[in-house]
Structure 1
Amino acid sequence: MVNIKSPAPMPMSAIVSMISDMTDMNIMATEQVAKVLVIANARNLPAMDVLNHIAAIYDFRIIKEEDGTVLIVTAHECQTMRNCDELIRVYSPVNVQSSALMEMVKDHLSETGTVSINEATNQVIVSDREDILDRLEYTITSVDQMLTTAVFETNEITSQEAGALLSSIVQSPGSIQTDTAGRFITVTDTPKNIERVRKALDELDKPVDLVTEIFPLRHASCDEVGYTIQELFRDTGISRDRTHGGAAFSPQPTGQGEAINALTPPGVRDNIAAQPGIDGGGTAERSGMRAFALGRRGSVVIDTRNNAIIVTAEEAWIERLRDIITAMDMEREPFSYTFSFAELETLDLEEKLALLLNTRGESYHIDKENNKVSLFTTPQRAAIALDLFQQWDKAPSQIIIEAKLLSVSDNTFKNLGLDFKAQHERVRPYTPSVITREGGIKLAPPIAAGSPITELSIGSFATSDYNLLIRAIATDSKTRIITEPRIATLNRKQATFSDARQEPYTVVTVDGQTNTVLEDVRFLDVGVTLEVLPEVNDYDDIKLDIMLKLSHLVEFRNNYPVVDTTLAQATSRTPHGRPVLLGGLQLRRSLKQHSGIPVLKDIPLLGGLFRNYEGDKTDRQLILIVTPYIEDDQRREEDALLMDITEMEASMMKNSIESNNKKLPL
């Protein structure tokens, strides 16, 4: 499977190289194809699907060799190559326009075939294999006949129903039209197809015997069942409102007798009237009954007085409706499900249950406090709902958050060609955005404005070189690890790490009445606090909400502590195992160390001869590396393999950095 994301155009040669590396396919592209700039984005798609999609957009041709090699060429190159047996043939229709044949010809072409038209000369130019061109010639000749028009009248079915059934016979550029009254159908096509339509219509438009069946309901409401039947068959054109003498389903009782008489065939009215509780007389005797049309001659009567459904239709429709009514007329029972893992706020249950349950006769209650859902429905629908609940109620993914807070020398970044910090004169006025130096790796802007030399930036790299880069920085001899937590948490659960110490200080107060001095010892937490909230989506990408707080005690002023605090908040999205880096906090320190011969180095005046001073004025930066992992056995094996592969490469990069450090003057 292929995963490619190219937000900007890149040479086709680069796309071919990436697909070859991902699939081990032998893919070759000609020089003309290789230099074409293309944009390709694919997620978990077969390689050939991606290549075919690119070829269709950029008019390439794909040739598969016998040894499995895939060759990509231009359309012109395909015509001149020896192993491409495509031919060009020109068709000149007489009775139809070339533009009308365009779509039909495209449906017959192979993957490498092309078609174009010349409207001025009414010609169709096709390039493809010889066998396909021969079939196209027969098809175009069949279509290129003098078209005729015939009008047919339907008796038993509507013209709309006939048109839907006959549309597969009529071929372009022919057409089929129906009237609004539903009685006439107009067909324009070749004489041969007109005759095929006539024979098919004779078979479809035959008189059918209607059957009437009464369905007494024990549990469901007849209004509920009738409404459902009407909605089910409305989209298919079977259930509809009649504009000529019929009536639609309506909750209003007025005119019910006339509606039933209009919707029910004459030969069936007496049969309905003979049923218990149904009188064939006028409107008064039809109180509590409503009806709507089913097909051209059938009907559905809703008997609210007896809670029954009366169906008049063909036997086949009776069978279908019997299954529907039986499924709906089942006793409703209470059911409940308590979610063990999933949080109801994240499932959108209201919308999903509204689609699953029939709100006219079924109900549900969502108890978010107890993480419980109660249903009142049929056992069949309850089984479906409970099965869905079990699928949604899966244990949340366990996430491992590995973090490293490092103090890194500026020389290390310079040796690697990186620059995370922003200089004062390179910060745009009145804006917190940071501009990295030319050639540096661009990271996202800081979350909030601060001192120009105390900005935090966040970035994510997509290549495996980034993992090597992080390892090289972390293992550099001048890099100091401030803290290195590893925290286990669950999906959508915040992980918190605190490496803080309590600094005591005393607050002195004097009681004004007794002059008593009161001392209150308090403690101040200073150090490092890291909070990470992971959220895994359906594609196993991990969204990270990161909060880093650094604080240290500067001094005491008037017996009150002065604390220097840096707070950074950022949001990033990264796949499993890919680090996210926050960097750019500049630390400027001047450290002096002295060493020498014990005792002798401390002799006044002469001790300087036995002492050695070393100074370290190298600026340093703090960077935070956060790497999320989704815990499972398969990923654990893949991570171990990746670590073995990159360890040696990281060691080589580290040696290169240390070699460069030795060449720099102190």
Structure 2
Amino acid sequence: MPGGMPQPMPMEAGGGTLLSEEAIIVGKIKLTPDVRTNRIHVVTRPINMPFIRQLIHEFDANVEFAKPVTRYLKYVSAGEVLPVLVQALTEPGTEGGGPGAGGGGGPIPGASPSQGQGVRKANYTGGTSSLTGSESTGTAGGGTLNISEELSTQPVDTTPKAVTIGNSKLIADQRANSIIVLGNREVVVKVQKILDEMDVKAPQVALSTVIGQLTLSNNEEFGVDWFAKYQNKLVGISRNNSIFGNNDPRIPVPASSVSPAPVIGNGSIIDPSNLINFGQIIQNVANGTNVYVAAGNYLAAIVHLLEGTGKFKVMSRPTVFTSNNKKAIIASGQEVPVPVSTLTNAGTIVNQAAVAASVEYKNVVLQLEVVPLINSEKEVSLDILQKLDSLVPNGNVIISGNSVPTIDTKYIRTNVSAPNGSTIVLGGLIEDQKQKQYQGIPYLSRIPLIGAAFRATSSGKERRELIILMCPQVTLTKLDAYRLRQKWEDTTHFGPELDQGECQDCSKVESGKQINLPAPDIPAARDIN
């Protein structure tokens, strides 16, 4: 071939080319890098120089590096998303990205999950002692003060974290809750698409709760019997309280029989939607102390029905929002002082024994904890814990000269599934109260033996059952949240006044007129479906 250029090698039978050093260059080649001057020293035949020069020019090209792209996150944490992005961008078979020079510290190895979640308390002793806490001190006079932090969170690390993946770098700015991408366009597009799928609003559940007290008579010993009288108002009922087994004479047995409804899991997990009528009560009775009723989709109508009888008294109507699979707590009660230690005869002051007592406060509350889990088709599984504390009347005991109250505790924990918007009734926590009254002629009624002829004694017995009605409502989109807001403002009839109650300069709303609510945010197309 003219010029002495190497001739191409023949093709293999399979279609491949036998590429070797002789097929590209002539003779040998030696490349030596000069790090000090950033040059490459080439020793080869002159015929190979154009090829080597072009090859070095291709490798020494300027790679365009895009400007840093910042993506602000709305619903997820930048520190939690960063490890997921690293795993998604790392090629299979390669090691994960390493932390950059400015990377912040992650979780401390071996650290206990409970660290940073403790409850800080400050106790004060009467007199002129000091108020001590974990971070401050002070002085006060008289009384007892108990300060506790019931809501504790993990300490937030706002130090930026940087991870290098190949020629790209990801920075998690936890203070601004954003992800900064330094890399080519391909990496930026991948990160943006991943964050579009992850940075979405979590579904929320509105738990509308009515806590009330149902008064029972002797013939209506359990709330389930009272509710059974209004079976045409209820979808179904299931009861977990029986001392007679399946032959409880206090439960009305209908003439018609139906097939039993399926029970999910053990006896304490019941699906109220599967209970069609009261013919299924007997087949689904299990041991326990709680009652579950699927009471339809209208919580307000059910409460009005109960109050209309005069036997149901509403104690509170809390409504809370919680995210999917997050705990919501509703509690109401009081703190009762309980002496825990007493020191006497430690010294004498003016011929009197010195007495020092240490007092703790015990919570006597009605506590309801709910963890909702949204299933398919807006069905909600509720993990419910119900705890009721009460002081036992005339139940104080004397310990070391101190009167210590007796606290009665009732406890229920179960899991139940319910459709979106349906009402669940929890009951079965019954309290008996006995009362005696004496009326008679003074002095004469107190004479032994013959005093009974001059007085009248009346005794009464009252049974009260704690009833909790709960209606879970799922809000998956902005439109759902807006409709729920409209519904509750129309129900409570004080929605517009909330915006003007504290504003003296705002225009007043005339009676009989209603302020139109502002238009909701335009939801995305996928939110409407």
Structure 2-normalised TM-score? 0.47
Structure 1-normalised TM-score? 0.39
